[in-house]
Amino acid sequence: MNAPTDMKLATGIGAPVLRKEDYRFLTGSGRYTDDVRMDHQTYACFLRSPHAHARIKGIGKDAALAAPGVVAIYTGDDLAADKVGGLPCGWLITDVHGQPMKEPPHPVLAQGVARHVGDPVAMVIAESYLQAKDAAELLEVDYEVMPAVADVRDALQSGAPAVHDIAPDNRCYTWSLGDKAAVDAAFAQAAHVTKLDLINNRLVPNAIEPRAVSASYNRAEDSYTVYVANQNPHVERLLMTAFVLSLPEHKVRIIAPDVGGGFGSKIFLYAEDAALTWAARKTNRPVKWTAERSEAFMSDAHGRDHVTTAELALDKDGHFLAMRVHTAANLGAYLSTFASSVPTILYATLLAGQYKTPHIYAEVDGVFTHTVPVDAYRGAGRPEAAYVVERLVSAAAREMGIDQAEIRRRNFITNFPYQTPVALQYDVGDFNACLDGAMDLADVAGFPARREEAKQRGKLRGIGYSTYIEACGLAPSNIAGALGARAGLYEVGEIRVNPTGSVTVFTGSHSHGQGHETTFAQVVADRLGIGIDQVDIVHGDTGRVPFGMGTYGSRSLSVGGSAIMKALDKIEAKGKKIAAHLLEAADTDIEFKDGKFTVAGTDKSVPFGQVAFTAYVPHNYPLEKLEPGLNETAFYDPTNFTYPGGAHICEVEVDPDTGQVEVVAMTAVDDFGNIINPMIVAGQVHGGLAQGIGQALLENCVYDRESGQLLTGSFMDYAMPRASDVPSFKVDHRITPCTHNPLGAKGCGEAGAIGSPPAVINAVIDALAPLGVTHIDMPASPQRVWQAIRQAGGNA
Ligand code: MCN
């Protein structure tokens, strides 16, 4: 990285540059999938199962086919007749606990059986969306309703209805990590054991833009163009062409244009994407579908939904000896694309947290139920791990009478690199620095006075800590492979320097709210010594970008940005050769700094722009030694994850009469390594904290345990956090640069949602502890808090 200059302070690495992309968003010039209009476009509506589990004995199409505007109606049988394959599953783990994971088929449209409320049963295509919707209501589906199971605990009972014949006990896999015998031995020596039963509540992602697809077929070229609100278009294309539609990959162009948020829920190949692509050829008409919000509730992959028993063994001084965790993870009705990796390698590997726990053993049952498939949602496995660890640590401190900060400091990892007992090796960190910073910023010293003052007002005030760590930058191929994954997840960057010195960057990362068009431009501008207005970032189009693994797991800067840095290395190396020719020097004597190539130790130099021009307009150019052009591509596969971490401190006030919890202060001091744009990073943290508070206090996706009906199918009964539910956040950073990527950067996109839920719940318990409450499940709704107070026999 070059040292800052005045110019770079304005736009380079470390500058809080306003987002370049906001001009188009704020002026209504963004182009989302639903904005795509094609000649002769038709509209699709999906008829979805109203039952959680039902045999489909027949589908009468006649009345619907006769309805105005109807172009075609397709069912699972039609797709099967055309040899359309099932949606791919089990992308990451092939073999669990020595047994092959159960991978039941996931048809694009249900074939014979519907397995969750919302399972698509038929696709109606019409001239307008309302015509398609009206016709869908005329379809006569003969359902035989069968018993359903929605809760993992029920699904694991013997005699529970089986979701798939190939998994009669509903277990998709049992997976374990760690040394069980060593853990059992350590527990036998423990002076104290803390045990908690924890539920990590199921969440619905709810990006602002619902999922959308717009597919067209070009008969002359026998090719497809598919616009889709998606976070990783190349992987979508690979899965769709190779597994589902058996099409030549190069005949399908996937464009993920402006996307209004994803939070992990748009990284999968969904049934609707494949169905529309297939139907575009079948009807020879473009087909479009945009999910209604209530459809999104019952068809977007959900998040979390763990039932866990966790134990922590400690010595008499509060040092951690061992941790033992059993988790039943609800996978829903089908195995979604990344669902096997989320509750396993993205979860159990993080159970060491920030602590020197010598022995850890985790066992995970992945369980089918008659519910929407569960997959990645902001944090994906890591919020669940942080919740287990930080709830256990806080409960242990309370039980042993040790101060909440002190028990953490007593057990913090302080020497790096540090090999945890659950596979990961943390490269760097300074956990005490983040905790110190957070305690200062949160004014922990003033808390007793604030608690007393609240008491005078009849309120119970509590403070909660969470010192979390996560693994970002998915996924080093060597580590992913060692953990049983089918593939590592590198990234691609291409730098095209134009003849006049401006630069177009093609990245496999996808920005859907994270501001890559600004931060990636900052990285390139800083390195080449040019203004960020000279740099354009192109992403989200398989027709323009060479390849890409997409955006999730807070990987874009550390992996995608590093691929760009690697391509810039090549640009610089070639630029030196061209400069050496222009300056009549040896290329080994050329230095590049501040946008100039200079002969070392002299004042002889040429600016970057002149080198770019020479590359394309060669004059007296050594063509025999050097190709024209200045265009380089690089693939970057990280050698390790990055390990962002930090300390979150939450302060709440509880009204003991109503159970209402108010978050009165939320402080986050995080370590994201080197920061490219502090303003964007602060925005990422703010959004994550709001989602974490949402999970802790408000959001809960509820199914009826017997019928499998989705009880929270709209915003009327699923509570999203609003501005009035969150305080003004206090955010700061401590920096230990990542040791293994060229930017020294760690991910920041999920941290807020990972660290904050346990901080909020620990604060609620701290507030209620004087009344005898020791545990409460998320979301800590007024009803639950009120009941907990009554059950504990507490009276404020
Ligand atoms: N950044 C930085 N310095 C760092 C780290 C990051 O300046 N040390 C910048 C990056 O350059 C980028 C942004 O912060 O502009 C986020 O970077 P990163 O942490 O690499 O995360 P990704 O870009 O890979 O984004 C993914 C992450 C995830 S996994 C979810 S889920 C999530 C999130 O981003 N979904 C989001 N933030 C979101 N924000 C919006 N608005 N919408 C979503 O759907």
ipTM rounded to 2 decimals: 1.00
Measured from the Cα of 556, ligand 1's closest atom is: 24
Q: Whose CA is nearest to atom 37 of ligand 1?
A: 749
Asked if residue 358 and residue 500 are part of one domain, the reply reads: no
171 domain residue, yes or no: no
Tell which atom from ligand 1 comes closest to the C-alpha of 472.
19
Task: Tell which residue, 315, 237, 267, 156, has the closest CA to residue 509.
Answer: 267
Question: Which residue out of 505, 526, 557, 642 has the highest number of ligand 1 atoms within 8 Å of its CB and is therefore the one to mutate?
Answer: 557
Q: Tell me the one-letter amino acid at 711.
A: L
Pocket of ligand 1 (CB under 6 A): 207, 261-264, 378, 512-516, 519, 551-558, 672-677, 680-681, 684, 687, 745-750
Inside any domain, residue 360: yes
**Domain-ending residue, one of 276, 299, 322:** 299
Query: If you measure from the C-alpha of residue 516 to the centroid of ligand 1, how many angstroms do you get, rounded to a whole number?
Result: 8
Ligand 1 centroid, distance to 322 Cα (angstroms): 34
Contact 211, 296 (CB under 8 A): yes
CB-CB contact of 619 with 628 (8 Å): no
Q: Does 570 share its domain with 590?
A: yes
**Residues 321 and 221 occupy one common structural domain:** no
Q: Going by C-beta distance under 8 Å and a sequence separation of 6 or more, which residues neighbour residue 416?
A: 426, 427, 428, 429
User: Are 15 and 136 within one domain?
Assistant: no
My answer on whether 694 and 751 are in the same domain is yes
CA 110 – ligand 1 centroid, Å = 35
CA of 753 to the centre of ligand 1 (A): 12
Residues 133, 239, single domain; the answer is: yes
Protein residue with least CA distance to atom 14, ligand 1: 681
DSSP, res 676: S
Residues 720 and 611 in one domain: no
CA of 500 to the centre of ligand 1 (A): 31
Residues in Cβ contact with 86 at an 8 Å cutoff, skipping those fewer than 6 apart = 105, 106, 107, 108, 243, 244
Closest CA to 339 of 119, 90, 87: 90
- Find the 393 Cα to ligand 1 centroid distance in Å: 29
Nearest to 684 by CA among 629, 710, 628, 646: 646
**Buried-exposed string 280-294: b where 16+ CB fall within 10 A, e elsewhere:** bbbbebbbbbbbeeb
Strand partners, 412: 355
* Predicted local confidence at residue 484, as pLDDT: 73
> Are 465 and 417 members of one domain?
yes
Q: Are residues 464 and 344 in the same domain?
A: yes
Q: Which atom of ligand 1 is nearest to the CA of 231?
A: 44
The pair of structure tokens assigned to 579 is: 């400069």
Domain count, the chain: 3
- CA 515 / ligand 1 centre spacing (Å): 8
CA 450 from centroid of its chain's CA atoms: 36
User: Which residue has the least CA distance to atom 21 on ligand 1?
Assistant: 554
* Nearest in space to 21 (alpha carbons), one of 498, 496, 495, 510: 510
| For ligand 1, mutation pick of 21, 382, 684 (most atoms within 8 Å of CB) | 684
Residue 190 lies in a domain: no
- Separation between Cα atoms, residue 741 and residue 150, nearest integer Å: 43
Q: How far apart are CA 676 and CA 579, in angstroms?
A: 29
Residue 356 lies in a domain: yes
CATH number, position 321: 3.30.365.10
Which regions of the chain are under pLDDT 70? 1-10, 90-99, 486, 794-796
Amino acid at 527: R
Residue 199 within a domain: no
Residues 314 and 414 in one domain: yes
Nearest CA, atom 4, ligand 1: 675
pLDDT tens for residues 326-365?
999 999 999 998 898 899 989 999 999 999 999 999 999 9
- Tell me, letter by letter, the H, E, C secondary structure of 387-403: HHHHHHHHHHHHHHCCC
Among 618, 636, 654, identify where a domain stops: 636
Q: Are residues 592 and 718 in the same domain?
A: no
Does any domain span residue 374? yes
Instruction: Compute, in angstroms, the gap from residue 202 CA to the centroid of ligand 1.
Output: 23
3-state secondary structure of 228: strand
pLDDT digits (tens, 9 = 90+) for 150-183: 999 999 999 999 999 999 999 999 999 999 999 9
Ligand 1 centroid–CA 243 distance in Å is: 30
DSSP, collapsed to helix, strand or coil, labels residue 467 as strand
Contact between 380 and 342 (Cβ < 8 Å) = yes
Q: Tell me, yes or no, whether 233 and 353 share the same domain.
A: no
Atom of ligand 1 minimally distant from the CA of 557:
20
Give the atom of ligand 1 at the shortest distance from the alpha carbon of 678: 7
The helices-and-strands tally (H runs, E runs) of the chain is 21, 30
Range of the domain at 586: 6-30+491-636
The Cα–Cα gap between 155 and 176 comes to 20
Nearest ligand 1 atom to the CA of 516 is 15
Closest CA relative to residue 383, chosen from 760, 754, 769? 754
CB 503 within 8 A of CB 530: yes
In a domain, 176, yes or no: no
Q: Give the model's pLDDT for residue 90.
A: 65
191: in domain: no
Q: What pLDDT does residue 89 have?
A: 79
| Segment holding 506, helix H or strand E | strand 503-507
Distance 294 CA to ligand 1 centre (A): 27
Nearest ligand 1 atom to the CA of 511 is 23
| Strand bridging mode 535-539 / 590-593 | unpaired
Angle at 577 (CA atoms; ends 572, 581), nearest 5 degrees: 140
Both tokens assigned to 628: 């024209």
What b/e readout covers 115-141, taking b as 16+ CB neighbours within 10 angstroms? bbbbbbbbbbbbbebebbbbbbebbeb
Alpha-carbon span 150 to 386, nearest angstrom? 25
Query: What's the gap in Å between 254 CA and the centre of ligand 1?
Result: 22
- 3 CA → ligand 1 middle, Å: 25
**pLDDT score at 2:** 42
Ligand 1: distance of its center to the CA of 552 in Å? 8
| Ligand 1 atom with least separation from CA of 672 | 8
Residue to mutate, 514, 642, 743, ligand 1, most ligand atoms under 8 Å from C-beta: 514
- Among 588, 603, 636, the domain boundary falls at 636
DSSP state of 349: G
CATH at 106: 3.90.1170.50
Token pair of 417 as six digits: 């690199």
Cα 709 to chain centroid, rounded: 27
Give the position, in ligand 1's atom list, of the atom nearest the Cα of 748.
Answer: 19
Report the nearest-CA residue for atom 33 of ligand 1: 749
93 - beta bridge partners?
485
